[in-house]
Amino acid sequence: MEDKLRIRPTVLLPLRERSVFVNHYFKQGGIGGVFVPGYTRLASAEEVDVEIVFAKEQVTVHSRGIIRWKRITDQRNLPAGVGVEFVESERHTRDLLLEFTQGRAVTLTKRRTRRYPAMLEIEYASNSVFLTDITDDLSRDGASILTNHEVEVGDLILMRFKVPGQSNGIEVKCEVRWRQLDGRKGFGVRFIFDRPGAERRVRELIEEVKHQQAQLFGVPTP
């Protein structure tokens, strides 16, 4: 049994204000992307989570991307770093980013709790069918699931999260809050902690994700 979690790399792009985003954005390929200083040890074509922080506006935007190219060494005034192309399913996020950084009034959804790019196998039953899928991300109060299986918003599902290195999974009652029918198909759930020890075990899992994320990628996360 694996004893390490599967975690996508996270690359951080801290910006002092939204007007400087244009210095990092590029239009080439697909739907464009951003240049992120550092992270040159990550492999080309690797899928990553991108976290863009606008300090002045106190806004953080998360997106999914793929490393398309790297600048291994500093060149004159150009730092070493990676070019991350947004994946097609992030077109809406890309559009919001461009509007926001051009000074337009846009509504950016703020999550109650931070989500972590951990991929865990889960088991659950839907319409009397026993299913196995993978989480796309995880937080203290919910998760996103990648799947072609259909569920309905409002469904209550008992999920079992299979944690590497642990013989017993974490069973959590979940409520389906949204579903995505095109692009990266899947759905999102909110945890309902009605079982002894479930909330504690989820919090311990999150702490382990944070620990391994820092070890693997040098990314400290709150």
- % of the chain surpassing 70 pLDDT: 95
pTM passes above 0.75: yes
d(CA 161, CA 156): 16
Which pLDDT score is estimated for 74?
Answer: 82
Residue 119 makes CB contacts below 8 A (sequence gap 6+) with 5, 6, 7, 8, 134, 135, 136
Residues 6+ apart with CB under 8 A from 214: 220, 221
Alpha-carbon span 61 to 84, nearest angstrom: 15
d(CA 60, CA 53): 4
Residue-wise pLDDT tens digits, 107-150: 776 667 888 999 999 999 887 788 999 999 999 999 999 999 88
Per-residue pLDDT at 2 exceeds 70: no
Q: Is 157 helix (H, G, I), strand (E, B) or coil?
A: strand
**51: pLDDT strictly greater than 70:** yes
The pLDDT of residue 89: 87
Is residue 98 within a helix (H) or strand (E), and if so which, with residue range? helix 91-101
Give the per-residue pLDDT at 1. 46
pLDDT band at 16; cut points 50, 70, 90 = very high
As a whole number, mean pLDDT of residues 167-178 equals 93
Average pLDDT, the chain: 90
Structural domains in the chain, sorted by start = 6-101 (2.40.10.220), 118-217 (2.40.10.220)
Q: Count of CB atoms within 10 A of residue 165's CB?
A: 10
pLDDT at 96: 92
Does pLDDT of 36 surpass 60? yes
